[in-house]
Amino acid sequence: MSSILNLAPQNVWKHFHELTQVPRPSGHLEKIQNFLVDYGKKIGVESFKDEAGNVIYKKPAYPGMEDRKTVILQAHMDMVPQKNKDKVHDFEKDPIEPVVDGEWVHANGTTLGADDGMGVAAIMAVMEDKNLKHGPLEALITADEETGMYGAFALKPGTVEGDILLNLDSETEGELYIGCAGGVDINASLEYKEVPVEKEKAALKVSLKGGRGGHSGMEINQGRANANKLMARFLNQAAAESEVCLVSWEGGNMRNSIPREAESVITLDKAQVDNVKKIAENCAKTFNEEFKETETEITLTVEAVETPAVGVPQEISDNLIDAILACPNGVLRYIPTIPDTVETSSNMAIVDIKDGKASVKFLTRSSRDSMKNYMAQSIAATFRMAGMKVEMSGAYSGWEPDMKSPILGAMTKAYKTQFGEEAKVKVVHAGLECGIIGAVVPGLDMISFGPTLESPHTPNERCLIATVDRFYDFLVATLENTPLK
Ligand SMILES: [Zn+2]
């Protein structure tokens, strides 16, 4: 069986192979930190670990290139530990076993760690190479990216001082990322005293299922259904024709996933039960018609349940349904200068109403902080009108794309010269470390790129061999063409 050590470029694959031998699941980074600091010392570059657990290298310019801007090469050292059910593997002790399989490299039953071991291996290769032409160089290899970008968040100003940051953690060769979304969590909440339900009322359990869900950023513009929104639409229609009152409502379970399912219990006059069932049937038809191109079949079922003793007060029930129906959701705006790229969105993720407590949770994203705040305030205003308390937390900055960035200009030109085709320029509608680091080191000119990976974060993670060569060649060309100070 052929080894990854025979693959080109050998200097990158050699270091990637070393990385597979050093355990580095997120949260257990001591071994890889020591390995990386020692490596820097061994090859004679300045090398240290900061308080946040990040490893930093500093390498002087190639003689004659001292007048270039300082480039920071950035990657993350941790990997996502995922394995197949039948695979025996201890991520804190056992090495990853890479397998060359046709045009790809994958691991034997586990994640490969090419996310972001390829970025780290490329940094090691650049740091080691004495013949490479480049200006002053720094490397920032961050800790615990995968579990919450903790290394980037804890980076202290002054740790790195470069002008340009090349993030080596993208997953499609030939794409240059020049922006990402920031985010903020929004929680609307309310406590209420449950009131008795009249005995002669009927009760129905309403279940909405079948949505595809998806990532609340990357897939927010796919036209998919939000189960809580559909539930609100049904309840609003039912409430227009009969005195519907909530007993409970539970939908969605993760802030960064589009909710796939929602379930509510409502009370109403017995005489209205058949009518409300008909409304549910009609809603199901409408929803499936609206979403037939983007969803699998959505079901909306209504079944009689025992009338509960207590429920939500009528006025609060009305307010909750109205607010959930009215609040902005999905894509608010696309980036005016970059086609088909979401700038600002929100995901109404979790609705939880029961036992005297109501809460609605959101994740709002934007590459532009002012638009993120506008979206968040619109949502807050909606829920304040319903008498709810609204709190925001966990805000982090986006990375606003700059189509006139000097490094973007240099890199698109270098790509065309090298490969005879245009690189694709993109913005990702999710958080990247660049957004966080850019907030710590203002004025950084940043780009993210990398070799082609598939299914990262799963045991099917694989890396397309030929793109590693292109990625590294392009990195080398970019360094040679670093703009002047
Ligand atoms: Zn990554």
Q: What is the pLDDT of residues 419-465, one digit of tens each?
A: 999 999 999 998 899 999 999 998 999 999 999 999 998 899 999 99
Are residues 439 and 191 in contact, defined by beta-carbon separation less than 8 angstroms? no
Catalytically annotated residue among 116, 128, 145, 185? 145
Rounded mean pLDDT, 378-393: 98
pLDDT of residue 147: 87
CA–centroid distance, 154 to ligand 1, in Å, is 17
Give the Cβ contact number of residue 405 at 10 Å. 16
pLDDT of residue 85: 86
Rounded Cα distance between 60 and 72, Å, is 12
Q: What is the pLDDT of residues 334-372, one digit of tens each?
A: 999 888 899 999 999 999 999 999 999 999 999 999 999
CA–centroid distance, 234 to ligand 1, in Å, is 40
Are residues 344 and 331 in contact, defined by beta-carbon separation less than 8 angstroms? yes
CA–centroid distance, 390 to ligand 1, in Å, is 33
Q: Is 97 a catalytic residue?
A: no
The alpha carbon torsion through 461, 394, 449, 412 (nearest 10 deg) reads 150
Rounded Cα distance between 162 and 72, Å, is 6
CA–centroid distance, 246 to ligand 1, in Å, is 43
Give the pLDDT band of residue 209 (cuts 50, 70, 90). very high
For the chain, percent of residues with pLDDT exceeding 90: 92
Q: Three-class SS of residue 368?
A: coil
Rounded mean pLDDT, 243-258: 93
pLDDT at 304 over 70: yes
Give the Cβ contact number of residue 81 at 10 Å. 21
CA–centroid distance, 112 to ligand 1, in Å, is 12
Spatial neighbors of 409 by CB under 8 A, at least 6 apart, are: none
Q: What is the pLDDT of residues 61-113, one digit of tens each?
A: 999 999 999 999 999 999 999 999 899 999 999 999 999 999 999 999 999 99
DSSP state of 143: S
Are residues 164 and 71 in contact, defined by beta-carbon separation less than 8 angstroms? yes
Torsional class of 330: left (φ above 0), alpha (ψ -120 to 50), beta (otherwise): left
pLDDT of residue 191: 98
Rounded Cα distance between 374 and 360, Å, is 18
Is the CA virtual torsion 250, 255, 259, 261 positive or negative? Answer: negative
pLDDT at 256 over 90: no
Q: What is the pLDDT of residues 395-423, one digit of tens each?
A: 998 999 999 999 999 999 999 999 999 99
CA–centroid distance, 146 to ligand 1, in Å, is 7
Rounded Cα distance between 302 and 281, Å, is 9
408 phi, psi to nearest 5 deg = -65, -45
Give the pLDDT band of residue 297 (cuts 50, 70, 90). very high
Q: Is 78 a catalytic residue?
A: yes
CA–centroid distance, 145 to ligand 1, in Å, is 7
CA–centroid distance, 230 to ligand 1, in Å, is 34
Give the pLDDT band of residue 283 (cuts 50, 70, 90). very high
Write the single-letter amino acid at 429.
H
Rounded Cα distance between 371 and 467, Å, is 36
Spatial neighbors of 278 by CB under 8 A, at least 6 apart, are: none
Catalytically annotated residue among 78, 185, 295, 343? 78
CA–centroid distance, 245 to ligand 1, in Å, is 46
pLDDT of residue 214: 87
Q: What is the pLDDT of residues 138-170, one digit of tens each?
A: 999 999 999 889 999 999 999 999 999 999 999
pLDDT of residue 184: 96
Rounded Cα distance between 3 and 456, Å, is 21
Burial of 298 (0-12, 13-18, 19+ CB in 10 A): buried
Q: What is the mean pLDDT of the chain?
A: 96
Q: Three-class SS of residue 190?
A: strand
pLDDT of residue 284: 98
pLDDT of residue 371: 96
